Structure 1
Amino acid sequence: MPITADELRPYFRSAWGADTCYPDSREEWTPRNPARDQCGMTALVVQDILDGDLIIGEVHVGGVQIGHHYWNRLPDGSEVDLTADQFRPDEEVVGGRVVARPPDAPRRHREQYELLRERVLEALAADARS
């Protein structure tokens, strides 16, 4: 039986670290907020496992855009955002549109994507063997 997005959540929580978040945001990452700045890599790995579309929205504070946020739309049309709990109360995600996946792997942050993907897939494989 295929794995669900909810079943994937603990694998990502265990795999996230300062070494898998956006490098320019490493100082913001803490174990207390493990999803912080993990959205792009996480959305790509979720897509690797569950397929579907990548969605990008804007992150606003006080009506001013401060960044972007990625999540997934699954083949059944449902949306899943494994990093939604990263945001501070003053941060709001607005909009959302489908974006094309980069061919092969992302050009930026490729190392973080590959590390996160490896950790999640290894943990899934280990659990499947036990």
Structure 2
Amino acid sequence: MTKNEQMLAALQQSWSIETSSKWTKDNPAAGQCGVTALVVSDWLGGEILKTQLPDGWHYYNRIEGIRCDFTASQFSAKIPYSDTPSSREEAFTDTNERQYECLKEKVAAAHN
């Protein structure tokens, strides 16, 4: 299993209503993009990118030059990526400290 596959598995185990108010059992990645981009950045480094979508900014990562969007499954349509450079500060506008700390702890536990 690659690092990215391990990360996706850990995220899928960790997403919950505690990590995004938009989470649902049918769409666990919903609303998780900002908080996920932050936690992925903590674990795997790389850059945080964003793309403007009808409902606002969508955040994801570029790791070792490759786009890694761990929350793309929340959307039914194909994402028209612009790969606009972003930052931790901007990604934090999509989440809050409580959600971030919760996801960070759950991902760490899932990795052990």
Q: How many residues end up aligned between the 2 structures?
A: 109
Show structure 2 runs of 5+ residues with no match.
Answer: none
Paired AA for residue 4 in structure 1: K
Give the superposition deviation at 1:80: 0.4
Deviations 1:46-95 (A, max 9, x none): 010000000011112xxxxx211000001x20110110010133x74442
- Report if aligned partners of 1:36, 1:86 keep a CA contact under 8 Å in 2: yes
State the superposition RMSD in angstroms. Answer: 2.0
TM-score normalised by structure 2 residue count: 0.86
Q: Distance in 2 between matches of 1:29 and 1:101?
A: 21
Please point out which of 71, 87, 102 is paired with 2:60. 71
Larger strand percent? 1
- Report if aligned partners of 1:69, 1:93 keep a CA contact under 8 Å in 2: no
Partner of 2:75: 87
Where 1:69 maps in the other structure, the secondary structure is strand
TM-score normalised by structure 1 residue count: 0.75
- Answer with 1 or 2: which has the greater Rg: 1
Show structure 1 runs of 5+ residues with no match.
Answer: 61-65, 126-130
